[in-house]
């Protein structure tokens, strides 16, 4: 098994019947493959839908860049993020011409 991401928080609970995980207070998610780090105060993981989301302030550190937003949505394996109201310098990579 290859570990791709970790999550830590001061509080966490798993609602087994709802297949929902909730993490609160100093939540840190690290994508070990991309060397990205997410900090927030609340994060949910809907295991049925494979959806990870937060409606709280988020701070993302990636490759020496830092950007923030008012929330986020992602799908497993947490490799693409959709940030609500992003702020900061974000590098956009262009697709090569075909």
Q: Is it true that the peptide bond before 77 is cis, omega within 30 degrees of 0? A: yes
Residue 16: partners with Cβ closer than 8 Å, 6 or more residues away:
none
41-85: pLDDT as tens digits: 999 999 999 999 999 999 999 888 888 999 999 887 666 789 999
Average pLDDT of the chain is 87
Q: Residue 76 falls within a domain, yes or no?
A: yes
**What is the domain range of residue 25?**
5-88
Residue 89 has what pLDDT? 65
Tokens of 29: 């998610």
CA distances from 74 to 10, 15, 45, 83, 98 (A): 22, 20, 9, 9, 28
Give a yes or no: residue 95 inside a domain: no
34 in any annotated domain: yes
* 98 occurs within a structural domain: no
Q: Please give the tally of structural domains in the chain.
A: 1
Is 18 part of a structural domain of the chain? yes
């Amino acid at each position: 098994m290859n570990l791709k991401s970790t999550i830590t928080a001061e509080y966490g609970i798993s609602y087994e019947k709802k297949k929902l995980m909730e993490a609160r207070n100093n939540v840190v998610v690290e994508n070990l493959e991309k060397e990205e780090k997410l900090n927030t105060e609340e994060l949910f993981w809907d295991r049925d839908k494979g959806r990870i989301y937060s409606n709280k302030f988020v701070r993302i550190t990636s490759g020496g860049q830092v950007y923030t937003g008012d929330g986020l949505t992602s799908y497993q394996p947490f490799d693409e993020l959709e940030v609500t109201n992003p702020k900061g310098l974000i590098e956009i990579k262009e697709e090569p011409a075909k």
